[in-house]
Structure formats: structure tokens, C-alpha cells
Amino acid sequence: MQKPLILITNDDGIRAKGLHALIEIAKPMGRVLVVAPEEGHSGESHAITTKIPLRLRKLQEPDSDGSDEVTMYACNGTPVDCVKLGMTHLLGSLPDLVLSGVNHGSNSSISVIYSGTMAAAQEAALNNGTPAIGLSLTDYSPDADFSPVQAIGSELIGKALKFGLSNEICLNVNFPALPLSEIKGVKFCRQANGTWIEGYEQRTDPYGDKYFWLSGRYVNNEPDATDTDEWALSNGYVSVVPVQPDMTCYKELERLKQEWKV
């Protein structure tokens, strides 16, 4: 039987350590196609490129002896562009699995809506239900230790290949920045209700012109809830949250039908 085909991307860019850690996880499991941005695109969510041409630059081909079945491209677009190009142009068929990450920094709670990492996974899941996982480590350091992700992530990826996911569902997987020996396990949980309290710092550049720099802090609005991704991460667990594209609030929909009666 032919090995599974795995498409990999990220939002930190083609040179990010987390991307190459994810490639190492996936290599023993199948044939790997990497399409990742030339530069970082963190916080750009589901952005796509429409005003400039998209370009692909091949960086690596599989070894002729079959010992390393990795093909790698850099793209000047966003993470979602990378998934679109990979699935529609570079592949002759849909991949068996799409992986995005490993992101340098958390994508838990409300951060999922800003995340380029998770947008890439969601884009894949929208394409005929292709199983997809976004993986993140709660360490923003460029030289973060991804060995716990490699140890636990390989099991989760293996499960996704074996059992698949429901149509249009992807997984948001976050790892605490802890040594493997201190990680207690994996928790399947829901997204925490949280908020980013943001502001803009006004600064002055060397030419005397004013500019603004986004700053902010995260606030967990339900710190006592024990079934959320934030609780899992704070208590030494890997959090796994199933994510769907349908953002309809069905409770509010019923209220509008009953009360507004337009």
C-alpha cells in the first residue's frame, strides 16, 4: 500500500524550528509535502493573497533512494495560500492529512480566531473534509524545545491518520512549555472564554514621526472552569479542541426568531 500523503505548513515561516520539528514527526508516517510561507504571518488569520502574484520556490525533493520522502516549497503568500496551492496545484489528489505548525506560542482560547496556524488547518478541513491538525507550543522563543511535541504529537497524528475526523472539523492542539516528564497527559476539552485586553503604544521613530505598536494581555473570563484548554495547559496537560467553521450562535438564532418576529 502507498504511504499516506501529508501536507505541512505553518505561519512562522519556512525557517522556523517548529516547522522542521513537525516535518521530523511526519516523515516516518508518510510522504510529506511542505508548502510554507517565505516569512512569518502570525496573527493574519484566514488572510489570502489577491493583489500580488503568488510564487513557489522549490527547496527540496525526495531522495532518489526513497529514504527521505519530503518535498519542500517556500511560498510568498499566507498560510492559507500555502494550503490552497498545495491542495489544488501541487498535489494530484487530496492529502490524507494536513498539519500546521508547530507554532511558536499558544493558540488556545480566543487566539484561535487570529491564528494563521489554525486558519491553515481550517482551510484544509473545508476541502472535502480533509483531516487537519494545528499544533502550537506555549513558548514564543525561536529556539524553543519541541521534543515534548515530537513525543506526544506523533501519537496524536497517528490517531488522526487511523481514525480520521468528522467532516469540516480540525483539531487545535496546544502543548504546555514543560519538559516531557512534567506533562501529565492529553485533555480533550473546549475553548476557554477569554479576551485580549489591547491597546496601542504611541512611539516616535528616528525621523520624529509618530507610529503605533499593538500591545495587550490575555484575560481568562472563566478561570475556575476545569473543562477548558486554558485549564488544561495551566495544569500540565496537552489540550485538544475540535474546531468547526460554522460560527452560528444557535441559541441566539432561536431568540431572534421568537422575540424579533420580523
Encode pLDDT of 171-185 as tens digits. 999 999 999 999 999
Domains and CATH numbers, the chain: 5-192+224-259 (3.40.1210.10)
Question: Which secondary structure element, helix H or strand E, spans residue 204, and what is its range?
Answer: strand 194-204
pLDDT band of residue 127 (cuts 50, 70, 90) is confident
- How high is the pLDDT of residue 29? 95
Provide the residue type at 217 as one letter. Answer: R
pLDDT band of residue 87 (cuts 50, 70, 90) is very high
**Are β-strands 237-243 and 170-175 bridged in parallel, bridged antiparallel, or unpaired?**
antiparallel
Encode pLDDT of 11-41 as tens digits. 999 999 999 999 999 999 999 999 999 999 9
- How high is the pLDDT of residue 19? 98
Count of Cβ atoms closer than 10 Å to residue 176 Cβ: 22
Encode pLDDT of 184-232 as tens digits. 999 999 999 999 999 999 999 999 999 999 999 999 999 999 999 999 9
Contact (Cβ atoms closer than 8 angstroms) between residue 145 and residue 139: yes
Encode pLDDT of 43-74 as tens digits. 999 999 999 999 999 999 987 777 789 999 99
- How high is the pLDDT of residue 1? 65
DSSP state at residue 2:
P
Burial class of residue 248 (count of CB atoms within 10 Å of its CB; 0-12, 13-18, 19+): exposed
Distance CA 39, CA 76 (A): 7
**Residue 100 grid cell:** 500546521
pTM: 0.94
DSSP 23-44: HHHHGGGSEEEEEEESS--TT-
- Average pLDDT over the chain reads 95
